[in-house]
């Protein structure tokens, strides 16, 4: 039992109960945005388990990166989601395997031979490469638009993509895991962290004293309790 627990703690795969965390922004010597993405799990001996995912920060070109439930945003960017893309690749693999089995039965070929394995790999590789080239061609107009998009429109685009995911979750036969008011923030080198839209757990109109206190903080005022 101790060996099983130890191997589980040393596993490089994140636990099912882990929560995704993202830290992003600019360092003092960084001119482009960076982010850290990983999974944080339960604590063990006072220390949380952390699984760091592949670093995708410091992009040289504008990039739109979805997190968590990314199927709708992937479909918007690429014209196809990763799930459908993987399904197409698996379907093509089945087609190639069936074709090779028919050829092997007709021409008495050995599918385990080095020639057959190499032929299968080249056939699938060329097809997958062509598919990814089509996806790359479909995403190039959006990437070019992002390079000249104003900051405020970037924030509107991010909010619209989240809302689009929310609408899809509500109309399909699935748990509506995305929805409700969306918080929108913008981080830039010059303006640092700025809220574009932020929701509160109470109605601001019913809590004018709170609004007055916040206004006083913004303008350097001080309020006595």
Model confidence pLDDT, tens digit, residues 13-66: 666 677 788 888 887 777 777 888 877 877 777 777 777 766 555 566 677 888
Average pLDDT over residues 181-207: 84
Last residue in a domain, options 127, 148, 169: 148
Predicted TM-score (pTM) of this structure: 0.62
Model confidence pLDDT, tens digit, residues 200-219: 887 777 888 877 787 776 55
Give the Cα separation of 174 and 165 in Å (integer).
12
Does one domain contain both 25 and 74?
Answer: no
Give the Cα separation of 35 and 55 in Å (integer).
8
Does one domain contain both 76 and 53?
Answer: no
Residue 225 has pLDDT above 50, yes or no: no
Which has more pLDDT, 5 or 193? 193
pLDDT value for 173: 65
Does one domain contain both 52 and 80?
Answer: no
Does one domain contain both 109 and 126?
Answer: yes
Instruction: List Cβ neighbours of 223 (8 Å cut-off, separation of 6 or more).
Output: 212, 213, 216
Model confidence pLDDT, tens digit, residues 140-173: 777 778 778 888 888 888 888 888 888 888 887 6
Does one domain contain both 91 and 109?
Answer: yes
Strands ordered across the beta sheet of 47-52: 19-25, 34-44, 47-52
Domain count across the chain: 2
Model confidence pLDDT, tens digit, residues 73-116: 888 877 777 777 788 788 877 887 777 777 766 666 666 676 66
């Amino acid at each position: 039992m101790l060996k099983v627990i130890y191997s589980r703690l040393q596993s490089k795969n994140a636990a099912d109960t882990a929560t995704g965390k993202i830290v992003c922004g600019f360092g003092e010597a960084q001119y482009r945005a960076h982010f850290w993405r990983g999974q944080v799990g339960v604590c063990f001996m006072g220390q949380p388990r952390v699984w760091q995912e592949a670093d995708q920060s410091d992009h040289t070109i504008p990039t739109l990166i979805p997190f968590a439930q990314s199927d709708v945003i992937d479909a918007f960017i690429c014209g196809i989601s990763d799930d459908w893309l993987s399904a197409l690749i698996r379907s093509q693999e089945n087609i190639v395997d069936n074709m090779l089995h028919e050829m092997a039965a007709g021409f008495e070929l050995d599918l385990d031979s080095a020639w057959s394995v190499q032929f299968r790999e080249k056939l699938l590789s060329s097809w997958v490469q062509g598919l990814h080239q089509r996806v790359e061609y479909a995403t190039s107009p959006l990437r070019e638009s992002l390079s000249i998009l104003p900051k405020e429109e970037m924030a509107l685009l991010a909010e619209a993509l989240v809302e689009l995911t929310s609408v899809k979750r509500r109309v399909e036969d699935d748990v509506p895991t995305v929805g409700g008011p969306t918080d929108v923030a913008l981080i830039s080198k010059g303006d640092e962290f700025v809220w574009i839209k932020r929701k509160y757990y109470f109605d601001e109109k019913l809590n004018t004293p709170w609004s007055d206190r916040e206004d006083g903080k913004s303008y350097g005022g001080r309020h006595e309790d």
